[in-house]
Amino acid sequence: MSDRLPAPPAGSFSAAFGDGLAVYVAGHPARVQVLNASAALVWRACEAGMGRVELIDTVTEASGAAAEAIAADVDACLAQMVADGLAGVAPPETAVSAADAGAVSGADGGSAPGRAESPVRRVGAGRRVGPVAVLDRRLWLVGDRADDVHDRLLTAAEELLADLIVQSSDSVGGTPAPSPEGDPGRGGDDPAAAYPQESVVIEVVDDQSVRVWGPGEGYRSFDGERAWLDALPTDLNRHLMRQDRCLVLHAAALMAPGGQVVVLPAPSGSGKSTLAAQLVRAGWRYLSDEAVGLRFTDLATVAYPKPLVLSPESGRTLGLAEPDRLNHRPGSLGGRVLPSGSDQESPVSVVIPRYQPGVETTLRSLDPAEVLAELVPEVLNFGAAGVQALEALTALVSDRPGHELVHPGGDRPAAVLRDLLEREDQPAASAYVTDAISGSS
């Protein structure tokens, strides 16, 4: 019988977290599990291909404990890891999570996706709109033909996505626009060549349906021009999972009037967009209501100011002029956006929003393990970014305070977040002391 320890599943990786490790296993129901220092030592030994006796001897020599006791502990830990799918077996079969599938707030846009018989590359001859910055990817929307129908549709798309289109000095695009004068944002000046660029061809067919031809992936169908335009901002989410230069979180992100960035991660349907709209109304600068990038090196926030997607109920609550409209540019709320694809300050806080009608607004501090558990399902690009995404995630939750914000909507959440930022600016503020701020809604 081999003495070699059971190996971790293929494709698994880890990052330091507290005294132990956070371990990612593709396909595992939990996706990331936290190991204490002892379990982390055993998992590292499994990863290194050590033998059981070698591990027991190493631990015994280092600790001075009895070899029999160490052997029993090692065997118990190994058995638990095998049972949990962390070593020795293939990861448990499970349905692909919403985040892994890119199913963020209508990523399919409510369309009826079609597929060409072969994934041929379509080359459009019509009007070009772009480059549209989806974090670090640059997309060009190209009309299939140069005619009035396609020109009209691309003009409407250009107006809808105006806050995502990079303003550059050359015809290729790709250079993030600098922050407006007086704005605390950092802006950016990366060359166009640094960004992956690709074209998406938009075809209006005879029955008025719209086909969207992605590079090498055939086409997807939408039932008419209005259906495609309504779906367009969220259909861009298909490109989030392919980002490999930053951690991508399914989250809203905004910059407070004082320049501090707050990230608001939460599942679809939790009211992120409505809360983001309320904060925009309160004078916060808009980075995104859907997804945000965080650089691996310094956790700088990458802006993705797509139109806010609001339900008619939210639109009426906010008093919007066109509440039944699906997509709303921040300017319609009186807000300012930060340049799409630009690097801004790193977040000062992670706040988990929970919308609950009729409750008092409360803010509760979370410890890093709680924040990690909340954020793991909201990571969109573990597959593309791998261990760098996990390392950025553990750094974020270890170094930034986390909070849970339970609120019924209205103006109170913005006031609570303003008070939070003021308290956390004080040197004596504790990141992980449980507290509550209550007030009428």
Q: Does residue 118 sit within a domain?
A: no
Same domain? For 226 and 272 the reply is no
- Evaluate whether residue 434 is within a structural domain: no
CB 158 within 8 A of CB 312: no
222 beta partners: 210
Query: Do 295 and 224 fall into the same domain?
Result: no
Give the pair of three-digit tokens for residue 12. Answer: 């698994």
Q: Per the domain annotation, does 172 fall within a domain?
A: yes
Range of the domain at 329: 246-424
Identify the burial level of 103 via C-beta atoms within 10 angstroms of its C-beta, where 0-12 means exposed, 13-18 middle and 19 or more buried: middle
Residues 261, 299, single domain; the answer is yes
Same domain for 403 and 255: yes
Position 29 in a domain: yes
4 part of a folded domain: no
Q: Are 391 and 287 part of one and the same domain?
A: yes
| Structural tokens at position 424 | 């956390």
Q: Which residues contact 369 (CB under 8 A, 6 or more apart)?
A: 18, 34
- CB neighbour burial string for 134-162, b if at least 16 within 10 angstroms, e if fewer: bbbbbbbbbbbbeeeebeebbebbbebbb
Which among 300, 302, 328 is positioned nearest to 314, based on CA atoms?
Answer: 328
Residues 253 and 235 in one domain: no
Find out whether 201 and 121 touch, Cβ atoms under 8 Å.
Answer: no
CATH number assigned to the domain comprising residue 400: 3.40.50
Same domain, 151 and 77: no
Q: Are 285 and 187 in contact (CB under 8 A)?
A: no
Domain count of the fold of the chain: 3
Same domain, 155 and 279: no
Q: Taking the CA atoms of the chain, what radius of gyration do you get in angstroms?
A: 24
- 267 and 364 part of one domain: yes
b (16+ CB within 10 A) / e for 66-80: eeeebbeebeebbee
Contact 314, 278 (CB under 8 A): no
In tens digits, the chain (441 residues) has pLDDT values of 468 899 999 889 999 999 999 999 887 777 899 999 999 999 999 999 999 999 999 999 988 889 999 999 999 999 999 998 898 865 444 444 444 444 455 444 344 444 444 455 677 788 999 999 999 999 999 999 999 999 999 999 999 999 999 976 433 333 333 333 333 334 444 444 467 788 899 999 977 899 998 876 778 899 999 999 999 998 898 889 989 999 999 999 999 999 999 999 988 878 889 999 999 998 999 999 999 999 999 999 999 999 999 888 888 888 888 888 899 999 888 889 999 999 999 999 999 999 888 899 999 999 999 999 999 999 999 999 999 999 999 999 999 999 999 998 888 888 999 999 988 764 433 333 333 333 333
DSSP codes, 21-82: EEEE-TT-SSSEEEE-HHHHHHHHHHHHT-BHHHHHHHHHHHH---HHHHHHHHHHHHHHHH
Are 290 and 227 contained in the same domain? no
DSSP 338: P
Query: Residue 405 falls within a domain, yes or no?
Result: yes
- Does 418 lie in the same domain as 300? yes
| CA neighbours closer than 13 Å in the CB half-sphere of residue 134 | 23
- Among 30, 52, 83, which residue terminates a domain? 83
Q: Is there a domain that residue 279 lies in?
A: yes
Query: Does residue 400 sit within a domain?
Result: yes
Residues 180, 72 share a domain: no
